[in-house]
Structure 1
Amino acid sequence: MIQLAGRLQTSLYRNITRTCLNNSQTISAYSIIINRNKHTNHSSTKSNVQENALKLDPTKKFDCPPQSSSNSTYNTPFPPPKNDSSKYIIAGGIALVAGLAGFMYYKNSQENPEDNIAPKKTDKDVEKEIKKIVKFRSPETSENIPKHIPYLLIGGGTASFAAFRAIKSNEPKAKVMVVSDEAVFPYMRPPLSKEIWFDSELGIEKARFKQWNGAERSIYYEPDEFYMNIEKMAEAKNGGVSVIRGYKVTNLNVNEQKVTLDDGTEITYDKCLIATGSVPKTLDVFDRASPKVKEKIFTYKSIKDFENIKNHTEKSKSIAIVGNGFLGSELACALSHYGKDKNLKVYQLFPESGNMAKVLPKYLSEWTTQRIQEVGVDVIPESQITSVEIFNGNQLKLGLSNGNNVIVDFVVQSIGSEPNVDLAKQASLEIDNRLGGYVVNAELEARSNLYAAGDAACFYDPRLGRRRVEHHDHAVVSGRLAGENMVGLKKPYKHQSMFWSDLGSAVGFEAIGLIDSTLPTVAIFAKQNQFDFDEKHLALDEIEKDSNNEKKVEKQEVVENTSESAPKIETNTPECKPNVESYDKGIIFYMREERIVGILLWNVFNRISIARKILASDDTFTDLNEVAKLFDIFDQYHEDK
């Protein structure tokens, strides 16, 4: 019991002061007090950390007597208690329960002696506890939020950033307000599973990263000073961009052009953009788990998730990544690299036979899995999680469909996303039954003066039909186009967005169009040489610049290949793969009705503009080997140079 008292010494105490005045009895204060040392002088405020976290309802009544008065019947003394033996029975029951509780605690402390030591709370721990109680909002109240705004953007991601940049470029004095449910200003998401883990000094501590060209940049698009305080927006003659953080739009009235925030505030608009992005999917086996299990299961989408995973990684020895897509595979490789010096064991589990199975042909997917294993990830393909339970007090035991078990400290689910369309039902907006997302026309308009962009938009592609895309470049392009159309430019969506991924040092690719493993593919591969190591992906700012400028591709001369090792074209199905020794680099064409609908550049970089030009063409190519030469995968250009 002495140990129990020691543990209680650092616990969180709630001090509720009740003030009863006449017939109005209210709770006057609710405070959180942290008592960190039993020897602390309680009269000293320096040794106590105290925060007023929230106020209770002042109208709540309590049955306490009013202040005494000479004429009040409450001055009559209470009668002496009756000689009732029931109090002895109650006291005996309390003593019995306390004794049993003490015995169970003693038994548990002997089995888990490390649990007896209560960790000393730091100032950061206290701040975290307070943040859990008080939701961050900026501004703290909606009192000074304008009741009308010309341009309203719902969502604080990349699409909204691209939209307000386009609006301000075309209408410099525009007033734009972004409503974001996150606590931070708009930032880019791709580095969260890539570069930010590879430089601990920059990425982990400063939220900065180095691009492939060596340039350093922040994960945030703009410094805090760029954004205008919302309280100054109404009087700003030259307009500006404000981001109200920690707020969520819960209702959208399209006819009245009005939204309602989660605190009840109503705001009308002239033009509105829905850029609510997507939300991570979760497995049923985890959704049904106990609360204690759920404390060790996470998803990965935001910078808050990054900070959470980073903190857990620091005190863990093993982690399971569930999922084999872009995010799951990138995160597995990144955490394996980051945890190399920390002896962190990284597992990756999924039901398919290889990584990136939904986008890569089967042979290339399985080859990629081998490369990921070489960087230290323990990949367990063709396995589904059938059960999960607490193991050894503070770990998770994952039961797999193959009969094996995996013991880890925590789990990150990365099994894909679904569009955030919470506003659709009450706003009577159309959702695509097959692809999901808000249905918009070629100008990204869902209804009059209402647009959608980014992950949440299901748009019409004149070349490839109706689509929904969840990639950074699409968020940039669609957000920019929506912003331009909000100011009246009326441009159709014609751009073919690209995406890229890096999985260790051996695998990197860029792609454009429909990249779907269910489509037939034609692949041309070549061996890597010294020229390939001098090239990498376009930096993020160059990708955005390329997306904005719609660079034209000059006509390139097709050079006959004289290399005696030049591979032949092979049509690839799950049962057929190219007859080559390795897949170091190459071009994979995705076909539909003898037309190229997607191009994947496998360890071939900075050629995406060529792929975009080919994809925009309506030509039917009879010799794809000649088309592949446009990408110079046989290095004829380098040899001539």
Structure 2
Amino acid sequence: MRFDYDYVIVGGGMAADAAARGIRELDATGSIAILGDDAEPPYERPPLSKDLWREPEGAEPFLDTAAATGAQVHTSTRVTAVRRAQRVVVANDDDEYGYRALLLATGGRPRELNLGPSREVVYFRTLGDYHRARALTGGPVIVVGGGFLGTEIAAGLATAGAAVTLLTPDAEIGAGAYPPGVVRRIRAAFDQHGVQVVTRARARWLERPAAGRVAVHAGTDDHPMAFAAAGVVLALGIEVNAELARAAGLVVDDTGVRVDQHLRTLDPFVFAAGDIVDYPDVRLGRRRVEHVDHAQSSGACAGRAMAATLTGGELPVYDHTPFFWSDIFDLGYEAVGRLDASMQLVEDWAPGREDEHGIVYYVKDEGLQGVLLWDVYGKVDEASALLDELHEAGSLPDPELLRGRIALD
């Protein structure tokens, strides 16, 4: 069957929702179709590893995209091809969606080990995955992955009453991102909540040794480790869903779909946003980002750019450096830029509250690359302004002068 729209958005996540809203800022009447492979319409992702664990009876985080924008939202819709020459998207094998402007916001899929998802094995990504993980709280659970998502899920499961073992390949939780004092504080929080943390445990494969049991094999051939539980939740990062873009002849590099400052691909009528894009950050250079602020901000900018393309307006520039945040038990932070503990770190803690309330600046080549606001809130705009001012190499011959640039209330 053939359908025709002014705007077609492939992907049904937060970037798609933001894009539809961005379109409406410039075009009040153009027809919009959102084609998502999720069974649900667009929803917020952060609550899946944060708020819903603390308030399980709270409302599920749907974004009401259709009501807010008039877009026709198609769920459980698998897009199989983009035919740029005809400006057509093919879905579910034989449905065709004609477009005047197209957005690829296909996100990513969880990296998997040898066993696929099941009742006992959850690769965490979607609202459905949250419900499957929540169902595991009656027994011991292994969480694999010590990054932002893995640590939040482990904290959420422990808060919900599960006996949790957290496996991380790192020397300590967060060692690659935070200064040693903060790393110790995070580890102490997990210890206090009864989470067994196993470091230097890189998961290699899964097996089912008995009914209702899953084993995680980790370590190396010389130092093997094995852990078994009633369920396993894995947060191993994502594989970018760039196959459609690549098959359509768009530029896909080692990180994602390459776009210009307008989030436009090499095709002037095809844009990309969210997790999949390799974009030119005006402060930090070309990069790919998976945080929700980027999904929303890039989606909105891409939507405006699509509308400007069709209405003859000026294309907006994506000049936003995304921020992000994390909550682990009663610990929390906001941050902007890159957090890499191998950089020069300038720590600015409130008197008597070292590693508890303060700011960490990340410096490389005498240029500011990131700002961690540990237990400091409402300062993201100041941190972004400072990054804008001092990101170029050589801007900080004396990085210690960063202390006090952002006041600690």
TM-score by length of 1: 0.59
Counterpart check, 1:183 vs 2:7: no
Structure 1 partner of 2:275? 455
CA deviation string 1:447-471 (max 9, x = no partner): 2110000001110122211011000
Contact preservation (8 Å) 1:324, 1:357: no
Q: Is 1:306 the counterpart of 2:136 in the alignment? A: no
Answer whether contact 1:420 1:456 (CA < 8 A) is retained: yes
- Higher helix residue share: 1
Q: 1:278 aligns with which of 105, 108, 117?
A: 108
Deviation at 1:180, TM superposition (A): 0.8
Q: Are 2:94 and 1:264 equivalent residues in the alignment?
A: yes
Q: Deviations over 1:414-438 (max 9, x none)?
A: 01112111202320111122xx110
Q: Aligned letter for 2:51? A: E
* Cα pair distance change 1:407/1:527, threshold 3 Å: farther
Mark the structure with the bigger radius of gyration: 1
Q: In structure 2, what is the equivalent of residue 428 of structure 1?
A: 249
**8 Å contact from structure 2 (residues 347, 403) kept in 1:** no
In the TM superposition, residue 484 of structure 1 has moved relative to its aligned partner by: 0.9
Whole-Å separation in 2 of the counterparts to 1:381 and 1:513: 26
* Preserved CA contact (<8 Å) 2:347 2:361: yes
Using the TM superposition, give the Cα deviation of residue 362 of structure 1 relative to its aligned residue in structure 2, in angstroms.
4.9
Q: List gaps (5 residues or longer) in structure 2.
A: 309-313
Q: How many Å apart are 1:159 and its aligned residue?
A: 0.7
1:623 CA drift (Å): 5.2
User: What SS is found at the alignment partner of 1:429?
Assistant: coil
Deviations along 1:55-110, one digit per CA (max 9) or x if unpaired, are xxxxxxxxxxxxxxxxxxxxxxxxxxxxxxxxxxxxxxxxxxxxxxxxxxxxxxxx
Deviations 1:594-634 (A, max 9, x none): 0111111111111011001011114724555553323222x
CA distance in 1, matches of 2:129, 2:251: 31
Q: Distance in 2 between matches of 1:365 and 1:416?
A: 21
**Where does residue 440 of structure 1 map in the other structure?**
259
**Inter-CA distance 262–527: structure 2 relative to 1 (3 Å threshold):** farther
Cα deviations by residue, 1:515-540 (Å, 9 ceiling, x for unpaired): 223323222223567xxxxxxxxxxx
State yes or no: 1:524 paired with 2:348.
Answer: yes
Query: AA paired with 1:592?
Result: K
SS for the counterpart of 1:583 is coil
Q: Give the C-alpha shift of residue 592 in structure 1.
A: 1.8
Which ranges of 4 or more aligned residues in structure 1 deviate by more than 4 Å? Answer: 223-227, 622-626
- 8 Å contact kept, 1:588–1:599: yes
The answer to whether residue 45 in structure 2 is matched with residue 194 in structure 1 is no
Question: How many Å separate the matches in 1 of 2:361 and 2:237?
Answer: 24
The 5-angstrom pairing of residues 247-262 of structure 1 reads 247-262=77-92
Aligned twin of 2:311: none
Q: Which residue of 2 aligns with 1:324?
A: 146
Moved more, 510-519 or 600-609: 510-519
The code of the aligned residue for 1:360 comes to Y
User: Which deviates further from its counterpart, 389-398 or 268-277?
Assistant: 389-398
Structure 1 unaligned residues grouped into runs of 5+: 1-142, 208-218, 228-239, 530-581, 636-641
Q: CA RMSD in A?
A: 2.2
Give the 3-state SS of the residue equivalent to 1:188 in structure 2.
coil
Aligned match of 1:497:
322
Q: Is the 8 A contact 1:424 1:438 kept in 2?
A: yes
Deviations 1:249-295 (A, max 9, x none): 11011222111112311221100000001111123xxx1x5x8x965
CA distance in 1 between counterparts of 2:380 and 2:76 reads 38
Bigger mean CA deviation after superposition, 424-433 or 445-454: 424-433
Note if contact 1:396-1:410 (Cα within 8 Å) is conserved in structure 2. Answer: yes
* Counterpart-to-counterpart distance in 2, 1:387 and 1:272: 39
1:205-354 correspondence runs (5 A) = 206-207=59-60, 219-222=61-64, 225-226=67-68, 240-283=70-113, 287=114, 289=115, 296-313=120-137, 316-339=138-161, 344-354=162-172
Cα distance in structure 1, aligned partners of 2:121 and 2:133: 10
Pairwise CA distance, 1:161? 0.7
Matching residue of 2:387: 615
Secondary structure in 1 matching 2:62: coil
Matches within 5 A, 1:35-434: 147-202=3-58, 206-207=59-60, 219-222=61-64, 225-226=67-68, 240-283=70-113, 287=114, 289=115, 296-313=120-137, 316-339=138-161, 344-362=162-180, 364-386=182-204, 388-401=206-219, 402-433=223-254
Query: In the TM superposition, what is the alpha-carbon distance from 1:371 to its structure 2 partner?
Result: 2.2
1:491 shift after superposition:
1.4
2:283/2:321 contact within 8 Å kept = no
Give the alignment's TM-score, normalised by structure 2: 0.91
- Mapped partners of 2:99, 2:204: distance in 1: 48
C-alpha separation between the residues in 2 aligned to 1:478 and 1:528?
A: 40
Q: Which residue of the other structure, out of 361, 366, 383, is the alignment partner of 1:594?
A: 366
Q: Say how many residue pairs are matched.
A: 397
> 1:187 and 1:393 mapped to 2: Cα distance?
34
Q: State the one-letter code of the partner of 1:611.
A: A
